[in-house]
Amino acid sequence: MNLSHSKIFNQIIMSDVKERTLVLIKPDAIQRGLMGEIISRFEKKGLKLVGCKMMELEEALLREHYAHIADKPFFGGLAKFMQSTPVVAMCWEGLEVVNAVRLLCGITKAREAEAGSIRGDLAMSVACNVVHASDSIENAEAEVSRFFKEDDLHSYDKSEYMHVYAEDERG
């Protein structure tokens, strides 16, 4: 394979690693100056950032996002917390990235989250647990399109993919 063929081949296979997930950096992390640390965890893992914006969570968006817990007694307090500052919404892309990001984040109750995970290392609370991450492929697709217009999601080749994934994982 000559150089130009190999370049085209690599561009095609790198663009096949397509699963996407939604991450929110929550207000406690914004207040505590943890944005850079959290983004850095995902970058160091080898994930590709394809969308990023700071935004205030409107009531309707918040209710839709947390529909599965909207009837819980803690929802009022959680809503107030989530609206106390803007959040940073990010879309990360990678191979089986939904599961990988959940593992990086750790369990909901941060003081029991595994050491080494984002919540395990950076938080102590159940509500104030620094990040949100989509919990299934189906929910990730719904959440990414709830927070991002397709135009706000970017497509580019990340040169480090050559070193992050083995050849058969890129295809």
Name the one range near ligand UDP by CB under 6 A: 36-44, 89-97, 125-133, 153-161.
125-133
Q: Closest separation between CB of residue 86 and Mg ion, Å?
A: 20
Which residue reads 């990086």 in tokens? 104
Shorter beta-carbon distance to ligand UDP: residue 74 or 156: 74
143 contact partners, CB below 8 Å, separation of at least 6: 21, 22, 65, 134
* Lookup: tokens for 159: 């040169």
Strands annotated E in the chain: 20-25, 48-55, 87-93, 131-133
**Residue 24 Cα distances to 10, 12, 54, 165, 169, angstroms:** 31, 30, 9, 25, 27
Q: What is the dihedral of CA 18, 24, 29, 33, to 10 degrees?
A: 60
Q: Closest separation between CB of residue 44 and Mg ion, Å?
A: 23
Q: Is 156 in the site for ligand UDP (CB under 6 A)?
A: no
Are 20 and 117 a contacting pair, CB within 8 Å?
no
Shorter beta-carbon distance to Mg ion: residue 138 or 167: 138
Name the one range near Mg ion by CB under 5 A: 87-95, 128-136, 146-154, 162-170.
128-136
Interface characters, 133-152, with ligand UDP (x: CB under 6 A): --x-----------------
User: Of ligand UDP, Mg ion, none, which one sits near residue 6, judging by CB under 5 to 8 A according to partner kind?
Assistant: none
Interface characters, 71-90, with ligand UDP (x: CB under 6 A): ---x---x------------
